[in-house]
Amino acid sequence: MELKDVIFKRRSIRKFKNKEVPKETLIDIVKHALLAPSGRNSRPVELVIVTDKELIAKIQSTRPGAFGFLQTAPVCIVVTANKESSTWQEDASIVATYIQLLAVDYGLASCWGHAYNRSHEGKAVDIEIKNLVRIPENYNVLCVIGLGYPDEVKEPHNLTEVEERKIHWERW
Ligand SMILES: Cc1cc2nc3c(=O)[nH]c(=O)nc-3n(C[C@H](O)[C@H](O)[C@H](O)COP(=O)(O)O)c2cc1C
């Protein structure tokens, strides 16, 4: 698919079909995503692919409202990065975005669920997820990406949504 079409088609999908995503597809998506640029080429991002329904349900319970899409998602990718990198957050965000774009190319859909700096009932969501999937101490969790075959239809984006006033030339 042409990149521009992928960008238009990428929407946050929060309802997924009860259909497994082939392991090879998941490996292909994460491998390509890990080619994303990173500060000083430090490549601090590591991913945990979760397909175990019980574990996905536990992750969902760390932020039940905002992670509602994990109720039907057959896959949850936990996006983590080594916090010793000064650009870990940026690097992890780019990888997460690549995953979302690659998903579209495979006829899949996704939704970003934010974990870092979020809390639920007084508990830090990123730490809860870290414990659930046994992420080492020196890694931070930025977000989780719910992934699967879409079970809802959303209009693709289009360029009329873009506010021209947000584009500045030479000076603001
Ligand atoms: C940094 C970030 C955090 C987000 N956190 C959540 C979240 O916790 N739960 C959720 O359902 N969607 C989340 N989203 C998805 C946004 O709500 C969504 O991208 C936005 O409404 C635009 O819709 P679209 O993705 O269909 O273009 C997040 C997106 C980003 C980029």
pLDDT tens digits for range 75-130: 999 999 999 999 999 999 999 999 999 999 999 999 999 999 999 999 999 999 99
Asked if residue 99 lies in contact with residue 33, where contact means CB atoms within 8 angstroms, the answer is yes
What span, in angstroms and rounded, lies between the C-alpha atoms of 69 and 145? 10
Considering only CA atoms, which residue is closest to atom 26 of ligand 1?
11
How many angstroms separate the first and last alpha carbons of the chain? 35
Q: Tell how far the Cα of 150 is from the centroid of ligand 1, in angstroms.
A: 16
Tokens read off for 48: 């945990």
Residue 17 included in any domain? yes
> Which of 55, 138, 59, 45 shows the shortest CA–CA distance to 98?
45
Query: Domain range holding 53?
Result: 3-166
Residue type, 28: D
Q: Which residues, judged by CB distance below 6 Å to any ligand atom, belong to the binding site of ligand 1?
A: 11-12, 14, 66, 69, 111-114
Residue 172 included in any domain? no
pLDDT in tens, 45-78: 999 999 999 999 999 999 999 999 999 999 999 9
Tokens read off for 116: 């870092």
CATH, residue 92? 3.40.109.10
Q: Tell how far the Cα of 114 is from the centroid of ligand 1, in angstroms.
A: 8
In eight-state DSSP terms, residue 40 is G
Can you tell me the mean pLDDT for 151-165? 98
Residue 70 included in any domain? yes
Q: Tell how far the Cα of 139 is from the centroid of ligand 1, in angstroms.
A: 23
Can you tell me the mean pLDDT for 131-154? 98
Please give the backbone phi and psi of residue 2, each rounded to the nearest 5 degrees, phi first. -70, 145
Residue 33 included in any domain? yes
Grade residue 3 by pLDDT with cuts at 50, 70 and 90: very high
Pocket test for ligand 1, best of 69, 79, 111, 161 (most atoms within 8 A of CB): 111
Residue 121 included in any domain? yes
Helix (H, G, I), strand (E, B) or coil at 119: strand
Pocket test for ligand 1, best of 89, 112, 119 (most atoms within 8 A of CB): 112
Pocket test for ligand 1, best of 6, 12, 99 (most atoms within 8 A of CB): 12
Distance set, CA 135 to CA 40, 48, 69 (Å): 23, 9, 22
What span, in angstroms and rounded, lies between the C-alpha atoms of 140 and 126? 7
Q: How many domains does the chain have?
A: 1
Tokens read off for 62: 């760390």
Residue 60 included in any domain? yes
